[in-house]
Amino acid sequence: MAVQIRPATEGDVSQITDIFNQSIPVGDAEWTERLHTHADRLAWLHDRTAADRPVLVAEHNGHVVGVASYGDFRDSGVREGFRFVCEHSVYVDNTARGIGAADALMDELESIARENGLRQMIATIDASNGRSVAFHARRGFIEVGRMPDIGFTFDTWRTMVLMQLDLR
């Protein structure tokens, strides 16, 4: 069965939480040392929905295997010059890698961003996460900068790679 993409619901929050939490011990995606709670992710879903920002899930064989969303880049409510730019995230369950979930999520997320008049999509990626850097490059994102030693988790200084996709 193919991967299906749909809007996330409150009923998906447990699986979404599990997917986000898989990346924390690795340290190369979620720059936090604390696991997300169901309440954290539920509040996040409500905040994104209230802000009219998409939260999508990939479903395969009846299970949520991925999640993607975008939000403001640099708080466009205060800095309206950034109102045509978004920063996205995409996460796939470790057991579902290679089935096309990330591409399907990104296809839909980029389509929604274009429909909403956005012009640029930003990815902020840990430099040690070569898999994510390569994925974004394959999708047309270009590296526009690096911020060395900008984050610190699990006794490691983290370098952020900034990648940008022109949605026009």
pLDDT of residue 32: 92
pLDDT of residue 25: 87
For residue 71, give the nearest of 93, 50, 91 by alpha carbon.
50
pLDDT of residue 52: 94
> What is the number of domains present in the chain?
1
pLDDT of residue 78: 86
**Kind and range of the H or E run holding 134:** helix 130-138
CB contact set of 1 (below 8 Å; sequence gap of 6+): 60, 61
Do 102 and 153 touch, CB atoms closer than 8 A?
no
pLDDT of residue 26: 84
Rounded distance, CA 116 to CA 58, Å?
21
pTM of the full structure: 0.94
pLDDT along the chain (168 residues), means of 10: 94 97 88 95 97 97 97 88 96 93 98 98 97 97 98 95 98
* Residue 62's CATH number: 3.40.630.30
Range of the domain at 21: 4-166
